[in-house]
Amino acid sequence: MIVGVLKEIKVKENRVCMTPAGVTTMVAHGHEILVEKSAGVGSGFSDEEYVAAGATIIDTPQEICDKAEMVMHVKEPQPSEYGMLRKGQILFTYLHLAADEPQTKGLMESGATCIAYETVQKADRSLPLLTPMSEVAGRMAIQQGAKALESTNGGLGKLLGGVPGVEPAKVMVIGGGVVGVQAAKMACGLGAQVYLMDINLDRLRYLDDVMPANCTTLMSSKGTIQSMLPEMDLVVGAVLIPGAKAPSVITRDDLKLMKKGAALVDVAIDQGGCFETSKATTHENPTYEVEGVVHYCVANIPGAVPATSTMALTNATLPYALELANKGWKKACQENEALKLGLNVHEGKLTFKAVCDAFGLEYTPVEDVL
C-alpha cells in the first residue's frame, strides 16, 4: 500500500504520525511511504533520516493525497485538507468528530474511509491509541495548571507544593481514567493536596489503594463538586465518554464559588470540553479568564512536547497502521474488533453513533459497511 505521512498544520503542532523507525517497519512489509517535506522536523527527525529509512520525501500535501491509498496524520484534518481526501482512500488519525460538525460534514463529503485513533477500543474498554496521549496530557495538565496559578499569568500566586511552613495548593481532578490518574500522580509528586473524583466505586477502591497518601478519592457528584470548589486552587477536567461530546461538570454559575485567580484545566476540550465556559485555545494564546477564574483549554496539549509525544504515539499506532496497510481497511476491521470500533466515516456515511447523536445526523451501523 502507498501510505502518506502529512505534516501537521494546526497551530504549534509539531508531532508527526510516523517515525523513521516506523517507516523502516512499513517498508519491510512491502509498503511505500511518502513523507511530506519537513513533517518530522518539529519532533527531531530530519528528511534525511526518513529517506535513509526508505521513505520518499514529497513537497506538498496535495501530492501526497493524490498518490496515497492511506493518509496518516496526528491531529484532525484542517478545513484546507478536507478537499484533498477522496473516495476509496483511508484516513487514519485523531478525529474527535463529536466536537466538530464542520469537520464531520467535510469528511462525509470527501467520501474517504476515516478511522479515528480515539475510538479504537479493545475488549477491556481500553483505548490503546488514546492512552499514550492521555498520559502526556494528564501530566502536562498539572504543569500548565501550575503556571496558570502564577500571578504573572493571572493566577492567585500559589505554588502547588507549598514550602515548609506554608500549606500546599488544593487540586481537584474530576475523572479517574488515564488522564485523571496521571494528573493526580503529577500533582501528588509536586506535593499538592489532591482530590481525585470518579463515578465508579470499583475504580475508586482501586485508586485508593495505589495512589499516594496525599491523594483523597471521592465519589463524584454535582453536590460534592460544588461543596469543594470554594477551597480548590486548581481543577483538572478529565471526563471522557469515548467518541462522544464530553458532559459538562462545572457551570458558569459554579465559577462564582471559586477563588479569584483559581485555575481550570480542561483536558476534555478535544471532545467539546467538560466545563460550560470552556472554549478551545492554542499554545500561542493558551488561557483566558471567566468570572476571575483562569481557563487553560489547549486542544492539543501533547503538541508542546513533540519529542516525547511522537514516540509515545507511534509506539501505539504503528501495529494498527501496519494491519490496515497489510489487509486493507475492510478486512482489517472485520478481523480486528478494536479497529472496527475506530471506523467513524465511510463513503459519506457516519458509522459511530455518538457522533450522529451529537449533530442529529443519520447513523449507519458499522456492520452495514463491512
| Separation between Cα atoms, residue 188 and residue 243, nearest integer Å | 29
Which of these is catalytic: 96, 100, 233, 254? 96
Task: Cell numbers for 74, please give them.
Answer: 496526528
CA triple 71-76-78, angle to 5 deg: 95
- What distances in angstroms separate CA 134 from CA 59, 68, 128, 240, 370, one per listed residue? 32, 29, 10, 11, 30
The answer to whether residue 270 is catalytic is yes
Strand 263-266 vs strand 234-237: parallel, antiparallel, or unpaired?
parallel
The answer to whether residue 100 is catalytic is no
Task: With H, G, I as helix, E, B as strand and everything else as coil, classify residue 343.
Answer: strand
- Are 190 and 149 in contact by the 8 Å Cβ rule? The answer is no
Task: With H, G, I as helix, E, B as strand and everything else as coil, classify residue 137.
Answer: helix
- What distances in angstroms separate CA 170 from CA 129, 175, 189, 209, one per listed residue? 31, 16, 13, 21
Which of these is catalytic: 100, 233, 266, 270? 270
Q: Which of 66, 61, 83, 63 is nearest to 17 (CA)?
A: 61
- Are 370 and 333 in contact by the 8 Å Cβ rule? The answer is yes
What residues act catalytically? 96, 270
